[in-house]
Amino acid sequence: MEEHIKDEELKIAKDKFYEFCQFEGCDHISGEYALYILLKLCKRYKVESVLEIGLGIGCIADTLLFYYDKKNMPIKYVGTEHNTFCLEALKTNTKFYKDIEIFDKVTSINVEQKFDLIIIDGGGTDLEIIKSVVKKNTILFVEGCRESQFIEIKKLFPKAVAVDVISNEKNRDYSPFIKSHWMGGGRIIFANPSLKNYLHYLIEKLNTKIKYYKRRRLDV
């Protein structure tokens, strides 16, 4: 992609999404906008450890690991995946394969490890383990705003505040997603919100309100 983009995180999200759209089994990859949000979260909160539930064919993992490699910053990346096709695809789709610690399911994770960012992008239902692997201000990100998983999470973290982050762009022509639909975003959840988290939450709430308003106008 030759487009000149000043926002580094946006450029990486676009390029990586395009790259993964070319891979076999790309139907379930993360949306471009979700990749962008995740990169921005990593930057803003200086994330050093990530748990991704549902590695799939590796779109999020490769995007974040590429970013950290480019920035020469350390990152611990742990993920879960059980699907045989995805486990094989991960080996070839990302040159950072050796940097991902892979478990078959969330309950197999070593609970001595704690994570700055937890990405939930799989249908696993054993989310209770998350409680054992959070730090004081861990951020959770649910790709595509899966409501049932959010209800589970809210039970685990009653003080949590959550905000949906949405895009005002429609799916790319080259994506496997329906072109007339809005690009998928996600839900940022501050498990035990600090003041900084709370301010961020309020800003995102406002952004989302404005975007929904713009969407309604664009849809008319």
Ligand X SMILES: C[S@@+](CC[C@H](N)C(=O)[O-])C[C@H]1O[C@@H](n2cnc3c(N)ncnc32)[C@H](O)[C@@H]1O
What are the residues binding ligand X (CB under 6 A)? 25, 27-30, 54-60, 81, 83, 85-86, 121-122
Angle at 185 (CA atoms; ends 170, 196), nearest 5 degrees:
135
Residues whose CB is less than 8 angstroms from the CB of residue 104 and which lie 6 or more positions away in sequence, other chains included: 80, 81, 82
Give the residue with the Cβ less far from ligand X, 60 or 134. Answer: 60
Min dist CB 79 to ligand X, Å, is: 8
CB of 209 to ligand X, least distance (A): 27
Residue nearer to ligand X on the CB measure, 105 or 205: 105
Closer of 93 and 197 to ligand X (Cβ): 93
Closer residue to ligand X, CB minimum distance, 33 or 161: 33
**141/182 with CB nearer ligand X:** 141
Contacts of 105 (CB under 8 A, 6+ apart): 80, 82, 124, 126
Beta bridge partners of 74: none
| Alpha carbon distances (Å) from 193 to 14, 125, 142, 149 | 30, 24, 16, 19
Q: At closest approach, how far in Å is the CB of 17 from ligand X?
A: 10
In angstroms, what is the minimal distance from the CB of 3 to ligand X? 22
> Is the Cβ–Cβ distance between 199 and 46 less than 8 Å?
no
Q: Minimum distance from CB of 158 to ligand X (Å)? A: 27
The answer to whether 76 touches 102, Cβ cutoff 8 Å, is no
* Nearest distance, CB of residue 219 and ligand X, angstroms: 26
DSSP string, 133-149: SEEEEEEEEEET--HHH
Q: Which is nearer to ligand X, 79 or 193 (CB)?
A: 79
With respect to ligand X, which residue has the nearer C-beta, 122 or 193? 122
CB of 161 to ligand X, least distance (A): 24
**Element holding 102 (H helix, E strand):** strand 100-103
d(CA 171, CA 48): 30
32 Cβ contact list (under 8 Å, min separation 6) = 13, 14, 17, 172, 175, 183
